[in-house]
Chain A
Amino acid sequence: MTLDAAVDVTVGTFHLDVRVAVGDGELVAVLGPNGAGKTTFLRALAGLVAIDGGRIVLGDQVLDDPAAGVFVAPERRPVGVVFQDHLLFPHLSALDNVAFGLRRQGRSRRAARAAAGEWLGRVGLAAEADRRPAQLSGGQAQRVALARALATDPAVLLLDEPLAALDVHTRTAVRRDLRRHLDGFGGMRLLVTHDPIDALTLAHRLVIVEGGRVVQEGTPEEITERPRTEYAAELVGTNLYRGTAEGELVRTEGGAVIVAPAAMTAPGPVYAVISPAAVAIHRHEPEGSPRNTWPGRVAHIERLTTKARVRVDGPIAIVADVTAAAVNALDLREGAEVWTAVKASEVGVYPV
């Protein structure tokens, strides 16, 4: 079974026009900045928003097709949703939250509760069955929400910013958990998030949405290697330049020149991509092998534990990942005059 969702919807002054397909057993992440229309897209799939144009088809069932006058109500769609903030029913215990959908499917109270108990056991919360949502931690609430969505055996599972409601400390552990549970569900999964780490670690394929439009889609590797917008490049943490390939050179729109033998293969308008790990920083103009050297000024230093991400402004604005030791050895600080260097063979070039 596959899901093919062409969603054209206007909310206020915001226009969303996005098409996403999810293959059998695939996990797709829709990634975009806040306000890109991700949640609206997800609500349209769930039937909580009717689309103005386009068509949503699941397997051989049309869920929403305004041109044909077809609209399947949310309660009749085989779609499970894990909402941002989890949205557990505060007046019901964890067990009854999970049993809710089964009861609505017409199962007896006893059968629904038995099945719900099994689901809670599967997500490791058998002991918390009688707790109210207010008594659960963020990670526990998320697992209840996941069990609740999966208990009705949906064909598609939708997740809206599943980790956004959690604090930074628990997020990593919950993400690992979530990944395990998502792997355990064989159906189609569609995740919307603004967090590239969630998308890159959880999804088979990414769809990047900006301003209500799809700007790029591909596997995490494809997008990391060949981002097509500044936002995409920023998400995967790499340097992206748009320019024109002339022989061995790429002349950027900013007027800088990048030496890149790869440019030979793609004359005309191109993107040049440089991984931050491939950028070296020097105090003085380097001599010898690197063929790309640019003077610049340190604009920002973000120290991580053993690494530091340094942004350098100059004829070309570039981000470099260097070791924390290098930051100290070079005495790097904001405003310092430096040189950046990149080997020509490290520059990836591909047509626009």
Chain B
Amino acid sequence: MLMTIRQLRVKYGNQMALDIEKPVTFEKGERIGVIGSNGAGKSTLVKALLGLVRYEGNVVTQLKPEQMAVHMQFNEYVTSMPVRYIMEAILDTKIKRNRELQELISFFDFEPCLPKRFNALSGGQKQKFTIIMVMFQKAELTFFDEVTSGLDFETRQKLVEKLARWYRDKGDTLVMISHYYEELEQLADKILILDKGKVVAYGQKEQLFKEYCGNVVFIMENNDKNRELSKGFPVLRSPEHLLALACDSRGQERRAMSVLAENNVNFKRSNSDIEIMFMNARERFYSQMGENRV
């Protein structure tokens, strides 16, 4: 066990920003994706775990603060010198003499940025700058809080690809917070779903998908024709423009596929769609609580 969170509560004034009742444990080597809408308590959770906000409850860990690294949502540095000197000062090393750091810099194609000042870097370069330094720390537990926020689609994709590639065969424990479901599909093994400060669900990605969506889902455009075809199949909650059919068995899956193919419907088959899983987990959570608020 790397860290266990027990009955953690964070209040901002009268507003309960985070209220984790059941224990949440992070094990060594896990890749945990944290998802939730704005105000779900994702960043508050990271701040509490890092000791940056007042909280009630407890966090049990043997980690020292320096064994945790974090890429915050907003990272600022001085603009009075090229970023190379900032990097060398923070990491207390010389880039020229540190092969490991050189490797990281070149992995992120950051060499041309080294002579620039922080305010002259683009959004993606700024994120890379912090990511390189966070990765170089090789902490036992690393948090990435909305690492791609504010970036365009292409830069976002490239950055996530790089992160996924870098960590592929490494045993680091990562906690990744993101609004983008597809990022967590690439980076996370476990998912922690937060909503209005509460834990909606926490577990292995596949396990949660099975629990809330079944074996597999077919996602298609939400139109009259597809709604008609979907009769006879369990329909899951999905974004308004989409229709998601749940299949619990191979037979049901084959039947759905043949119906969709015969009717020339474009569809996506998925057994790991985090967005559909998130929406259905949230719906079940509130229906169990007796609330209808999704």
Query: Do the two chains bind?
Result: no
List residues of A whose CB falls within 8 A of some B CB.
none
